[in-house]
Amino acid sequence: MKKTTTRLADGRELLYYDSRDDVVRDAVDRRLLDAVATSAELRRDPLLGDTVAVASHRQGRIYHPPADECPLCPSRDGRLSEIPAADYDVAVFENRFPSLAGDAGRCEVVCFTSDHDASFADLTPEQAGLVLDAWTDRTAELSQLPGVEQVFCFENRGKEIGVTLGHPHGQIYAYPFVTPRTELMLRSLAEHRERTGGNLFDDVLADERADGRRVVLEGEHWTAFVPYAAHWPYEVHLYPNRRVPDLLQLDEDARTEFPHVYLELLKRFDRIFGEGEPRTPYIAGWHQAPFGAADRCDFALHLELFTVRRTSGKLKFLAGSESGMSVFINDVPPETAAQRLREVASQ
């Protein structure tokens, strides 16, 4: 992998990740851009104890532009975009409309490919491996920023999720705090250790592998399963079989196998609702240990993938119980979801 760092016209950082070492990235951003002005502010909820980011400047972000005006496509034929180069493998840049900025953290955009009409599932294993390398590198770099406690690499796909740009891309959030979801995991981890002496993540993975009913696919180094208490109709957790706290600690064997396992999972997600259906909307995100956690080596890196579609043409909306009280009601038994995801395996 070759990494090239440069700057956009307004000073934001742009990084190219190339599979070939002989690629030269010297294109200059010729746009006339004002300096980025953000209003990102973090406020703590005194009742729930969680943090809310207030970012009013995001009201002006680009919303579903036509394909020929996509800001994530390469700059070509006189049309200038966020990517000055005429082509790229993987590109990462500071978000122009960040939810977190300055002392409140950092947000980056990850463009998986220059092909506007592709999706992550369309990538080759080599391309997907390069994205994994970019995620890992950004985790390492962002962890060194003052105040950053946790890095979250994720992808939102589909208008149903709220995506405003159709180009295949994801995001990376560097939080200056530990997120509420991770806090809950750490609390459960500590309680399980005190109660049993074991590691919660190891025991969950071992139990799912032993039971087998919710296992979707198994590799030599990765296991994908629908969790016993899945919140979403189709939800898969992907764990490395050897526990590590973050992407930086994955060994080469796990890194080599990951693209094959993950691409197969995404292809199955696109088939679960039958032929002729639009591509399945989903959220996929890496859960990594906070950098300052005392027991971070007990945390298990894993990826969570789920869709808001519950059946053909119908979405799972978060209504009163889910949105009001955080009590999920799942319409699809996890064992049924796992069986369906096994049925649509690639031939």
- The active-site residue out of 169, 192, 221, 237 is 169
Active site residue 169: yes
Give CA–CA dist 317/283, Å, rounded.
14
Strand ranges (DSSP E) for the chain? 2-7, 13-18, 41-44, 51-54, 90-94, 106-111, 150-157, 169-175, 215-218, 222-225, 234-240, 282-287, 302-307, 309-311, 314-315
Give CA–CA dist 155/140, Å, rounded.
19
Largest CA distance in the chain: 64
Phi, psi of 133 (to 5 degrees): -60, -40
Centre a 10 Å sphere on the Cβ of residue 276 and count the other Cβ atoms it contains: 6
Task: Say if CB 333 and CB 234 are below 8 A apart.
Answer: no
Three-state secondary-structure class, residue 9: coil
Phi-psi region at 241: left, alpha or beta (left = phi > 0; alpha = psi -120 to 50): alpha
Cα 163 to chain centroid distance, Å, stands at 13
Exposure string for 73-84, b = 16+ CB within 10 A, e = fewer: bbbeeeeebbbb
Residues marked as catalytic: 169
